[in-house]
Amino acid sequence: MSPMEKHLKVSAIKDGTVLDHIPANQLFKVIDILGLSKITNQITFGTNLDSKLLGKKAIIKIADKFFEDNDINRIALIAPQAKINIIHDFQVVEKKVLSVPSTIKGIAKCMNPACITNHQDVETSFATISDSPELKLLCKYCEKVTDEKNLKIISNN
């Protein structure tokens, strides 16, 4: 693919944030977690793009939107390799690497079926006790660990 072709796949933005290297199958969860369906900014998506690293990747470009680290780090749970590029005047002025936040509220479901958060309207809350090689989250309520292979994301919709 020529650089020109690649460029055309997802149009450039003047100012804003580009989220690249999102696993294609996580795109809609990322949209969900960042609440992108509820904002009025101009957003362009591309998905099922070829990626050496991920096989198929997705990319999101959000015009005139800059995230707080705390907010953007929430997607580290499902797209840890994502690259965040901050754009000013069509130029990448900053690249951010995600890190899993030390506490996670909402987003993830506790894997313990007897946990109060799975029975009543209680927002989940976890402490991150390990982020690599495997993500491990300790539930503030039932004190059980939810690991990466059992991680389920709560949908906002």
Question: Token pair 């990448």 is at which residue?
Answer: 92
Question: Which segment (10-18, 72-80, 87-95, 140-148) binds another protein by CB under 8 A?
Answer: 140-148
Name the residue among 96, 97, 88, 82 with its Cα closest to residue 64.
88
Question: Token pair 């015009």 is at which residue?
Answer: 63
Residue 4 interacts with another protein (CB under 8 A): yes or no: no
Binding mask 78-117 for another protein (x = CB under 8 A): ----------------------------------x-xxxx
Please state the closest distance from residue 143 (CB atom) to Zn ion, in A. 7
Encode 44-105 in three state secondary structure.
EEEEEEEECCCEEEEEEEEECCCCCHHHHHHHHHCCCCCEEEEEECCEEEEEEECCCCCEEE
Task: Determine how many CB atoms are found less than 10 A away from the CB of residue 81.
Answer: 15
End-to-end CA gap in the chain: 37
Q: Among residues 92 and 129, whose Cβ is nearest to another protein?
A: 129
Residue 133 interacts with another protein (CB under 8 A): yes or no: no
Q: Among residues 81 and 112, whose Cβ is nearest to another protein?
A: 112
Binding mask 105-124 for Zn ion (x = CB under 5 A): -----x-x--x---------
**Which residues are at the interface with another protein (CB under 8 A)?**
112, 114-117, 119-122, 139-145
